[in-house]
C-alpha cells in the first residue's frame, strides 16, 4: 500500500489492490482519526498499525464518507473507535449492507474476514469534531451518492473529498446537479490540498482547475447524452462519445477512466429515456 505524507499530521494511504482508493489518517495528541478504510483487510491492517505506532492514544474515530464497499469494509478493524457517517449512510447499510457484503464475499474470497459495522454517530448537514488541536468539519456533499460527505481538516487546510473528487466524476446511481453543487462548495474553502477518493492528492495549484474541469465534464456529458435521446438514437451511439471529447483523459486509474466514462453515459441515457417515457406515455 502506498503512503504519502500530506502535512505534518495528515497521511494518505492509496490502495494497490483496488482502483487507487484512498484512506486518510489524522494524528493528534488525543488520538487518531481514520477517514475511510481500504477495501481489503490486509491493507487496512497496515493503516491501523501505522495509526497506532504514531498515536499511542489509539484511534478515536473512524469516518465513513459514504456507504460504498471500497471505503467502509475496513471499519471493523477499529472496534475501539466511534464510527461516524451521514444519517443516510447508516440507513443504507442497515437496509442492504449485510446482503451486499454476502455477495461480495461470495465473489471475492479475500473479503471473508470482513464484518459489517453500522455507524452509530450520524449527522444530517454538518458536524464539528474537536480532537487535540484539530478542528475537523464534516459536511454533507451528495451527488456521487446521496449519503456522501467531505471532511475538512481546518488547521491543515486539507479536504478529504472522497468520491466527490476523482480523476473522472462518477455519477452512476448519483445526481449531476447535486454533485455539481458539492464541487462548487469546495471553492469556498481555504485549502492547500485535496485528497481524492481515488487517484491521490491534489496540490493547491491544481484545485480550482480540477473542480472547474469536473463541473465542465458533468455538463458536457449531460448535454451530449440529452442530444442523443432527443434525436431518438440508440444506446450504441454512446460509443462515439469518447472521454477525451468530454474534457477528460483515459489514462488515470490504470486506464479505467474510459470505462467509468461509458458507465456515466449509459446511466444518463437510461435515466433520460425513462423520463422521456414518463412524459410521453402511450
Instruction: For residue 151, give Cα distances in angstroms to 8, 103, 114, 120, 127.
Output: 17, 30, 25, 18, 10
- Residue-wise pLDDT tens digits, 138-171: 999 999 999 999 999 999 999 999 999 999 999 9
- pTM for the model stands at 0.97
Quote the percentage of the chain above a pLDDT of 70.
Answer: 100
The size of the chain, in residues, is 282
Q: Mean pLDDT, to the nearest integer, of 41-49?
A: 98
pLDDT value at position 134? Answer: 98
Q: Which cell goes with 168?
A: 473522472
Q: What angle do CA 137, 138, 139 make, to 5 degrees?
A: 115
| Residue 11 β-bridge partners | 5, 25
Instruction: For residue 224, give Cα distances in angstroms to 39, 48, 126, 256.
Output: 34, 44, 35, 21
Amino acid at each position: 500500500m502506498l503512503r504519502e505524507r500530506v502535512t505534518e499530521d495528515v497521511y494518505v494511504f492509496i490502495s494497490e489492490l483496488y482502483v487507487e482508493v484512498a484512506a486518510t489518517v489524522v494524528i493528534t495528541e488525543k488520538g487518531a482519526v481514520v477517514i475511510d478504510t481500504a477495501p481489503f483487510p490486509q491493507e487496512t491492517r497496515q493503516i491501523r498499525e501505522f495509526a497506532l505506532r504514531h498515536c499511542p492514544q489509539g484511534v478515536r474515530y473512524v469516518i465513513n464518507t459514504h456507504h460504498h464497499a471500497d471505503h467502509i469494509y475496513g471499519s471493523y478493524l477499529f472496534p475501539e473507535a466511534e464510527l461516524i457517517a451521514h444519517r443516510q449512510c447508516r440507513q443504507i447499510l442497515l437496509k442492504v449492507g449485510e446482503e451486499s457484503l454476502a455477495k461480495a464475499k461470495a465473489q471475492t474470497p479475500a473479503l471473508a474476514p470482513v464484518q459489517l459495522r453500522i455507524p452509530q454517530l450520524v449527522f444530517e448537514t454538518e458536524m464539528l469534531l474537536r480532537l487535540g488541536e484539530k478542528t475537523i468539519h464534516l459536511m454533507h456533499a451528495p451527488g456521487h451518492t446521496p449519503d456522501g460527505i467531505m471532511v475538512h481538516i481546518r488547521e491543515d487546510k486539507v479536504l478529504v473529498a472522497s468520491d466527490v473528487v476523482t480523476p473522472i466524476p462518477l455519477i452512476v446511481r448519483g445526481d449531476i446537479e447535486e454533485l455539481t453543487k458539492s464541487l462548487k462548495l469546495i471553492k469556498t474553502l481555504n485549502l492547500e490540498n485535496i485528497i481524492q477518493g481515488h487517484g491521490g492528492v491534489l496540490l493547491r495549484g491544481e484545485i480550482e482547475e480540477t473542480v472547474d474541469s469536473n463541473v465542465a465534464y458533468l455538463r458536457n456529458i449531460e448535454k451530449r447524452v440529452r442530444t442523443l435521446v432527443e434525436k431518438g438514437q440508440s444506446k450504441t451511439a454512446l460509443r462515439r462519445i469518447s472521454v477525451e471529447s468530454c474534457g477528460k483523459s483515459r489514462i488515470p486509474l490504470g486506464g479505467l477512466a474510459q470505462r467509468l466514462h461509458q458507465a456515466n453515459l449509459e446511466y444518463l441515457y437510461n435515466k433520460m429515456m425513462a423520463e422521456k417515457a414518463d412524459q410521453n406515455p402511450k
